[in-house]
Amino acid sequence: METAAFYHRPESEYCYIYAPGHVHVRLRTKKGDVAKVGFIKGDPFILHLNKWYEEELQMEKIASTDLHDYWMIDTDEYVKRMAYAFHIYGEDGSDVIYNDRGVYPYIKESLENSGLYFRLPYFHESDRFKAPEWVKETVWYQIFPERFSNGDKKNDPENVLEWDSRDVLTRTDFYGGDIQGIMDKLDYLQDLGINGLYLTPIFRAPSNHKYDTTDYYEVDPDFGDKALFRSFVEEAHKRGMRVMLDAVFNHIGAESTQWRDVAEYQEESRYKDWFFIKEHPVPSAEEIRNRPPETIEHVENLPYETYAYVPMMPKINTHNPEVQEYLLNIATYWIKEFDIDGWRLDVANEVDHAFWRKFNEACLAVKPDLYILGEIWTSSRSWLDGEQFHGVMNYSLVGNIIDYFVEKQIPTRKMANVLNEQLMQYRKQTQETMFNMLDSHDVPRILTMANGDIDLVKATLTFMFMMHGTPCIYYGTEVGMMGGADPQNRRCMVWEEERQDRAMYEFTKELIAFRKEFQPLLSYGFLKWDIVLDEEKVVGVKRHIGDEALIAYFNQGEEDFTIEKDPNAKVVFGRRNTETETGSVLEPNGFSIHLVRQ
C-alpha cells in the first residue's frame, strides 16, 4: 500500500462542518490502492469510558482522478468535539492506522491513546463556512448594460451608434444601453425563468465597459441615475430577482479624482500612497490619451503599477488604511442605500487577502446573506476559507467541460477525473455557491466556440446545469447570439424575434424550469459518475440525495448510443433522444435525464 499518497488535513476541505450535526470528513489515497477505509471517531474525553475506538464506520469512495481516490463520511450526528483516525485496508491485504502522528501498523492497544488522533477540538457555529442559501437556488443572467437595451435615448452618449449597426465592433463603440432598458426587459427575463441579475460595472467611467471607474458613488449618466437604479432594484425584488453589481477594487480609472490629483501634484499629492508608484512623474489621463494609439492600451515598464499594463487603470494600494476605508464605505453604501444582493469582485486574485477579509466582515455586518463572488480563473482555495468569498467565477470547472464537449481536446475519463479533482478542492457548501458560466464578456460566446452547432451548445449547457454551483446565462445565449473574443462577444442584444433563435429560447426556458423543478437534487445533491466511456464518448453524471437521483446521459460520439432501460427510472428532460421499450437512444449531441427513485 502506497502510504505516501495518504492525505488529510483537519479544519479544511478535508474536514469541515457542513451543517449543524453534519461533519464531512475526507481522505485521499492512491488510486486503486485501497479496498476500504474504516473511520474511528469519538469524544477524546470519554475514550476510556466507552472505548469508542473499537467501532468503525465505513467511508464511501466518492471520487477518483488519474492519481487518487477520495473517501468521505458524513458523521450525521450532533457532537461538540471529535477525535478521529482512519483504519485503511489495502488491496494487497495490509492494513494501517493513519492519525495525527502519521501512519502506523494497526495495533488495537495504540488506539487507547487519545493524543494520537486528528482533532476537531470544539465546534463553533461561527467557524462554519456559511454560504447564502438563496444563491444555491438561483439561475443568473449576466448583463453588459451598454449592449443590452436602450430604454432612454435622452441619456445616450454623444457618439452613440445606431443599435447593432456594425458587423465588426471596436473597443470604443457606444450603443446607448442603459438601466431603463434593463427595467423594460424584466418581463422578458421573468418569462425566461431568471431569478438573479449580474450587471457588469454601472459606475461613472469613460469607457463602454466601465471597468475604469472614476466615481464609485455615481451611476454613469449614460446609464441613468441613482433614483432609476433604486427603482430597478425594487422592481427586480418584486419579481423575486436578486441583483449583483460588479466592483473594481484592484484598480481605478486614470480619470478619477485621486489619480488626477497625483498627476497634478506628484510627490506632494495627498493620494500618492493610494497607488503603487515606482517613480515620479506619472502621466495624467490626458497625457496617456495623447500617446500613439498602439501604446495606450498596453505599456510595459510604466512608472506605476496597473492592471495588466493598461496605463488608464492604475492599481490601487489596498494596504493603505485610507484606501481600505474608502473602498469599504463604497461597498456598504450600495448595500445600505439600494439593497443590492451581491458583489462580483473584478481581478480579485490581485488584491490582498487581508483586505478581502475586512470586506467580507463589513458587508456581511450590513446584510448577512449578501453573496460575495470573486473573479478568479484558477484554483481558489486560498479565497474560499469562509472569511473572504462565497464562490468564484468557476472558469476552471467550466473550462474543463468546454475542453471535452466543445473543443474535443480530452477523453471522457479525463474530464471526469479533472472535475473530481476540482470538486475535491472545496467544501461542499462552497461547491454549491460557485458561479458557473459557459461564456461571458471576457471569453468568446459559446455558440461561436461550438462553430454554430446549436445542438452541441444545448448539450453543453445542460451538462453545466447538472453540476454543483449556481448557473449563469450570458445575455443573448438564450437566443443564439454569436461573437468571438472581446469586443465581438459584447454585441448588442438581438431583440427582433425574426432574428432570434426562438427554439433556443424555448429550450433555455425549459432547462431553467427543469433546474428549478429538481432544485434540491441539483442544488444540494452529491455528484457521482454513472458511466464514463472513452471509446463511445458517452458520460453519465448522477446527482443524488438519499434514495432519489437524477442521472443525465450525454452522447458526444459520432454514432447513436442506447442507455439500457431502468424500470425505476423516468425520463424527465432530454434532446435528440428517443425512448424505446429497451432504453433511451441518444443521437450524437443527444442527452436524456432520468429520475430514479429506489
Q: Read off the CATH number of the domain in which 282 is found.
A: 3.90.400.10
Point out the domain boundary residue: 494, 520, 546. 520
Q: For the chain, what is the domain count?
A: 4
Instruction: Cite the beta strand spans of 240-360 per DSSP E.
Output: 242-247, 342-345
26 and 164, same domain (yes or no): no
State which residues form the domain around 378. Answer: 133-250+317-520
466 and 544, same domain (yes or no): no
Q: Tell me the C-alpha distance between 100 and 278, whole Å.
A: 47
The residues near 201 (Cβ < 8 Å, ≥ 6 apart) are: 209, 210, 211, 213, 245, 246, 247, 248, 346
pLDDT at 294 over 70: no
pLDDT digits (tens, 9 = 90+) for 72-89: 999 877 778 999 999 999
Q: What is the DSSP letter of 408?
A: -
**Banded pLDDT at 552 (limits 50, 70, 90):** very high
Give the largest Cα separation in the chain, rounded: 83
140 and 236, same domain (yes or no): yes
553 and 571, same domain (yes or no): yes
299 and 357, same domain (yes or no): no
pLDDT at 148 over 70: yes
Point out the domain boundary residue: 104, 127, 150. 127
pLDDT at 578 over 80: yes
356 and 474, same domain (yes or no): yes
Average pLDDT over residues 323-343: 98
Average pLDDT over residues 169-174: 96
pLDDT digits (tens, 9 = 90+) for 105-135: 999 888 999 999 999 999 888 889 999 999 9
pLDDT at 331 over 80: yes
Average pLDDT over residues 168-176: 97
Predicted pLDDT at 570: 96
Predicted pLDDT at 79: 74
Residue 481: other Cβ atoms inside 10 A: 23
Predicted pLDDT at 356: 98
If DSSP codes are grouped into helix, strand and coil, which group holds residue 402? helix
Predicted pLDDT at 598: 76
If DSSP codes are grouped into helix, strand and coil, which group holds residue 577? strand
Q: Tell me the C-alpha distance between 219 and 224, whole Å.
A: 7
pLDDT at 296 over 60: no
Cell of 150: 436602450
Point out the domain boundary residue: 495, 520, 545. 520
Average pLDDT over residues 478-495: 98
**Banded pLDDT at 490 (limits 50, 70, 90):** very high
Phi-psi region of 537 (alpha: psi -120 to 50; beta: other; left: phi over 0): left
CATH code at 593?
A: 2.60.40.1180
pLDDT digits (tens, 9 = 90+) for 32-62: 999 999 999 999 999 988 899 999 999 999 9
H or E element in which residue 530 lies: strand 526-533
pLDDT at 254 over 60: yes
Average pLDDT over residues 265-270: 98
pLDDT at 297 over 90: no
pLDDT digits (tens, 9 = 90+) for 426-484: 999 999 999 999 999 999 999 999 999 999 999 999 999 999 999 999 999 999 999 99
Q: Tell me the C-alpha distance between 357 and 376, whole Å.
A: 16
Active site residues: 346, 375
119 and 139, same domain (yes or no): no
pLDDT above 90 as % of the chain: 93
Average pLDDT over residues 350-362: 98
479 and 573, same domain (yes or no): no
pLDDT digits (tens, 9 = 90+) for 179-223: 999 999 999 999 999 999 999 999 999 999 999 999 999 999 999
CATH code at 451?
A: 3.20.20.80
Measure Cα distances from 273 to 58, 247, 254, 276, 348 in Å.
57, 21, 15, 7, 21
